[in-house]
Structure 1
Amino acid sequence: MRLALAHARAETANLGRYPGYSVPTIAFPAILLLLFGRTFEEGEPQRLYAGFAAMALLGVAFFQFGVGIATTRTTPWESYLRTLPVGPATRLAGRVLSALVFAAATVAAVSLVAFTVYGVRMVPWRTVALGSTLLVGCIPFALLGIAFGYWLSPRAALPVANLLYLPLAIGGFLWTRPTEDVPRSVDIASQMLPTRSWMEVLDPVATGDHPVPLHHVAALTAWGLVFLALAWWGYRRDEGERFT
């Protein structure tokens, strides 16, 4: 764990030195909520807050990991790190912890807009519960980002991140609640997405309207295990191709 924390600190410090990454990553979701939140609010500011925060974390996971890993894994520094006596589990844990740092900052910026502009009000324990659910829930998506960061080339990583980002956000109903107007086939397809399971868990935590659906908790956990396997496999594959 000590080595994972050291790797996370180094990764976070490295990304923090580039304002071109850190500033848009932290500020863009909050700006998006400020400009377009009224369109999707539908009288449910707590759900709107949870959905936009989830979308923000999805961006951190895909662009920090997916694009970041793909563009840096062939650099001399990354090659040097591979020569150190550290296993892939430690490296993956360090990257996930680093993502959680940026995730917390991104959620804080979204929270500022949600609480000051949209009048979101939550008792302290519910705020803590929602924040914890957001951070824990983004781990499967961070692992997905790691997976395609190791499986894809630097040129392919950014297009794939963009192609996955919006469909997962829209298909998972992160912005709006599914209504009776949504075709049943679309609703069924949506429920198969990891983002839909995440939102179905976040919604009751944010609003308190109904209990947390345990089948969606199980589905999100299963997706996390699948993405972990893909990330581990991609790491080993990349290591085998370049270091054997």
Structure 2
Amino acid sequence: MPHALVLGVSRGSIELKQFFRERSSVVFTFAFPAVLLFLLGSVFDQSAGLGSVGGGQVLTASFAAAGIVSTSFVNLGTAIAVERDDGTLKRLRSLPMPPVSFFLGKIVLVVVASIAELVLLLAIGVLMFDVTLPSGLGSWITMAWLFVLGVTSCSLLGIAASSLARSARSAGAMTTLPYTVLLFISGVYVPLGNVPDWMASIGAVFPVKWLAQGFRAALLPDHMAAQEPVGQWELGRTALILALWCLGGLLLCLTTFRWRSSLTR
């Protein structure tokens, strides 16, 4: 295991170099949630009707979750599908490297990218929408375990989703489409009170809704809990559901992950 860990860290360094060399991919990865936050926050900041809390502040908290899902589920799922299609996974599997080291390398990439995305979104919120960062240790601890559970669950689901794509061409659609739909029905783009009940019920099954609600609990005043569907932050339930998705995502990865493309003969 120590050998596999060292190889995993080394693999993570390679993953980071490859990622940041693709400038167009880097720009899109970080700019997409940031631009959406800037545009939607500017539109709804003055018309939220939430008293001392502006719409931009609410959106910043929700987009903190969206950014994590983007860098983990969307990017990881797409990248692995592309690597499977072009034969990279097949070649890596033939090397004397434990499979766990490959996934550790991906984890290093996702964690670094997710932290950078979160910092960028919070900076936009502070500079543009007067978001106040937490002053108490409890809120920072909440953000920490939300980050860990969110990155873990969404990364595992991204790895599992990569196996659904039959080729690199379809990889983006297999991750971007469900990501975009979930942002709408999970209270990220619009308040859950404006979402039809049946859509909100579907959104409540998946991690995005709970991750966004958790970040709102950490970044918004306590009285804003009244705006949630049940009038509470439900942090205990959030932790439980995200942990269950971590377990479910692991089981999906173990049963669906493929090193070779299904089109390979």
Shared fold, TM over 0.5: yes
Give me the TM-score of the superposition, normalised by structure 2: 0.79
Give the total of aligned pairs. 242
Q: CA shift at 1:133, angstroms?
A: 4.2
Matched residues in 2 for 1:216 and 1:131: separation? 12
Give the residue type in structure 1 aligned to 2:147.
L
Q: CA shift at 1:114, angstroms?
A: 0.6
> What pairs up with 1:26-41 in 2 under 5 angstroms?
26-41=30-45
C-alpha contact (below 8 Å) 1:171/1:193 kept by paired residues = no
Matched residues in 2 for 1:102 and 1:163: separation? 21
Q: CA shift at 1:182, angstroms?
A: 4.5
Q: CA shift at 1:91, angstroms?
A: 2.1
C-alpha contact (below 8 Å) 1:27/1:109 kept by paired residues = no
C-alpha contact (below 8 Å) 1:55/1:169 kept by paired residues = yes
After TM superposition, the structure 1 stretch with the greater mean CA deviation from structure 2, 197-206 or 93-102, is 197-206
1:232 aligns with 2:245: no
Tell me which of 123, 126, 131 is aligned to 1:115: 126
Give the residue type in structure 2 aligned to 1:192.
V
Structure 1 portions without partners, runs of 5+ = none
C-alpha contact (below 8 Å) 1:16/1:22 kept by paired residues = yes
Partner of 2:172: 158
Distance 1:40 1:226, change over 3 A: farther
Tell me which of 8, 15, 33 is aligned to 2:19: 15
Q: CA shift at 1:7, angstroms?
A: 1.6
Question: What secondary structure does 1:73 align onto?
Answer: helix
Give the residue type in structure 2 aligned to 1:159.
A
Q: CA shift at 1:178, angstroms?
A: 2.1
Q: CA shift at 1:3, angstroms?
A: 2.2
Distance 1:86 1:150, change over 3 A: farther
Matched residues in 2 for 1:225 and 1:175: separation? 28
Runs of 4+ in 1 over 4 A off after TM superposition: 239-244
Percent identical among aligned pairs is 24
C-alpha contact (below 8 Å) 2:214/2:238 kept by paired residues = yes
Give the residue type in structure 1 aligned to 2:31.
A
1:222 aligns with 2:244: yes
Question: What secondary structure does 2:189 align onto?
Answer: coil
Distance 1:196 1:141, change over 3 A: same
Question: What secondary structure does 1:138 align onto?
Answer: helix
Give the residue type in structure 2 aligned to 1:172.
S
Matched residues in 1 for 2:245 and 2:61: separation? 20
| Greater fraction of residues in helix | 1
C-alpha contact (below 8 Å) 1:73/1:79 kept by paired residues = yes
Q: CA RMSD in A?
A: 2.7
Distance 1:9 1:128, change over 3 A: farther
C-alpha contact (below 8 Å) 1:133/1:202 kept by paired residues = no
Question: What secondary structure does 1:85 align onto?
Answer: coil
Give me the TM-score of the superposition, normalised by structure 1: 0.85
